[in-house]
Amino acid sequence: MTTSNNESSRKLTANVKAAGCAAKISSLELKQVLSSIPRTQCPELLTSLENFEDAAVYKITEDIAIIETVDFFPPVVDDPFLFGRIAAVNALSDVYAMGGKPVIALNVLCFPTCDYPLSVVEEILKGGQAACAEAGVTVAGGHSIQGPEPVFGLAVTGVINPKSILTNGGAKNGDVLVLTKPLGTGVMLLGLKGDTLSQIERKQLLDSLTLLNKQALEIANKYHPSAATDITGFGLIGHTTEMALASGLAAYLYIDELPFFACAVALASQGLVPAGAYANRNTFSSSVINLEHIEIAIQDLLFDPQTSGGLMFALQEEQAVRLLAELTAEGLTASIIGGFVEGKAGQVEVKK
């Protein structure tokens, strides 16, 4: 390879094949593998594997349950501190997506110490620590190994009252969907890697990637959401399908209401589409109605794997309108993007 021998000059993303949540194993492959693994019955486990929840919830008492989740991925940016911060924000998000409060976290680290100076590891961990500190989470330890490609993330423990859990399966007929971050991070990260983003576009992307979903959840909890998830590796369509399936309802999405990053459509139309988007298309396109009427670039963005994506809440329309107003007033990007109706469970209709 032509990689420079000068360790400090080597880019963190140099060897990375798929960045962030685009590195996820496809949902189809995962289902195939998991189907052969025997399940243990556990009455205290409040989440079911079938519903593709964001995290596992284990009941301790009638009032206390713990939330467990782990998330890690290869570098999405060359700045190690920023990478650490984004990976941690992304990992913490799964606890917020269940409606909980993260309390402690463990670092999960794989790192080729021959290829990069140790100061790079230090920066990654500092970035992770910074995100945890902002979230009020204590980093209590971790585990690190050598490997060919850097990987970082967190195992996070959160707490929740079992009655307040927000699962994928709680959505009601007539609920609408509120999304709290812009869409298109997979495409935008390719643009960032290819150095095709302007300073403004770069800033918008990084601001979104490093934004904790903490505040969005705290605000949303006032408006009694019936279901929640975070939009990550399976893309908007994947996570909407999962929520619809788990809730036994059909979903619809308003294409014109989707909050894409300003240049994401242009980048996607020029072929900056991550492999994960094609994998998500293979997995989920059969559950989508009217997809063929949508421009290809928009289709790609519907399947685009999101890293550190926003929360998506299902709730009654009048509550959603008030939630939207409060989120927007707090400076968060928020939109009502669709909703649920009676129909074939797991079906998603895209509407102009």
Partner 1 sequence: MSTDKKQDSANSLDLRGLMCPEPVLRTKKLLDQKPEGAVEVLVDSDINVMNLTRLANSLGLSLHSKEKDGGYMVVISKKNESEAGRIPHNHDVSQTASASGQKASSQKSANTSVVFIAKDTFGEGDRDFSVNLLNVFLQTILQAGHKPQAILLANTGVRLMDPDSSVRKVLDEFKEAGIEVLACGLCVEFYGLKEKIKAEQITNMYAICEYLFSADKVISP
| Alpha helices (H) along 263-341 | 264-269, 275-284, 296-303, 317-329
Q: CB of residue 263 vs partner 1: minimum separation in angstroms?
A: 5
Give the CA count within 13 Å in the CB-facing half-sphere of 106.
10
No. of H helices and E strands in the chain? 11, 12
Q: CB of residue 9 vs partner 1: minimum separation in angstroms?
A: 18
Q: What pairing do the DSSP bridges indicate for beta strands 227-230 and 335-341?
A: unpaired
Q: Report yes or no: 143 and 106 within 8 Å, Cβ to Cβ.
A: yes
User: How open is the CA angle 219-138-51, to the nearest 5 degrees?
Assistant: 55
Q: Where are the beta strands (DSSP E) in the chain?
A: 56-59, 65-73, 101-110, 138-145, 151-160, 176-179, 227-230, 250-254, 288-289, 311-315, 335-341, 348-351
Q: CB of residue 116 vs partner 1: minimum separation in angstroms?
A: 18
Q: Which of 21, 42, 114, 263 is catalytic?
A: 21
Sequence-ordered list of residues with C-beta below 8 angstroms from that of 230, at least 6 positions apart, any chain: 54, 93, 94, 96, 97, 213, 239, 309, 310, 311, 312
Closest to partner 1 by CB, 168 vs 283, is: 283
Member of 103, 104, 159, 275 binding partner 1 (CB under 8 A) = 275
148 alpha carbon, distance to own chain's centre: 25
Member of 46, 55, 125, 190 binding partner 1 (CB under 8 A) = 190
Query: What single DSSP character describes residue 226?
Result: S
Interactions with partner 1, residue window 276-335 (CB under 8 A)? 278, 292-297, 299-300
Q: CB of residue 286 vs partner 1: minimum separation in angstroms?
A: 14
Region of 60 on the Ramachandran plot (φ > 0 left; ψ -120 to 50 alpha; else beta): alpha
Interactions with partner 1, residue window 14-73 (CB under 8 A)? 16-18
89: tokens are 């924000």
Q: Specify the stretch interacting with partner 1 by CB under 8 A; choose among 13-21, 119-127, 151-159, 172-180.
A: 13-21
Q: Specify the stretch interacting with partner 1 by CB under 8 A; choose among 39-47, 230-238, 271-279, 336-344.
A: 271-279
Residue 21 a catalytic site member: yes
Closest to partner 1 by CB, 275 vs 289, is: 275
Closest to partner 1 by CB, 109 vs 190, is: 190
Q: CB of residue 290 vs partner 1: minimum separation in angstroms?
A: 11
Member of 269, 326, 336, 343 binding partner 1 (CB under 8 A) = 269
126: tokens are 């500092």
Interactions with partner 1, residue window 246-265 (CB under 8 A)? 262-263, 265
Under the binding rule (CB under 8 A), the answer on residue 198 touching partner 1 is: yes
Contacting positions for partner 1 (CB under 8 A) = 16-18, 190-191, 193-194, 196, 198, 200, 262-263, 265-275, 278, 292-297, 299-300
Catalytic residues: 21
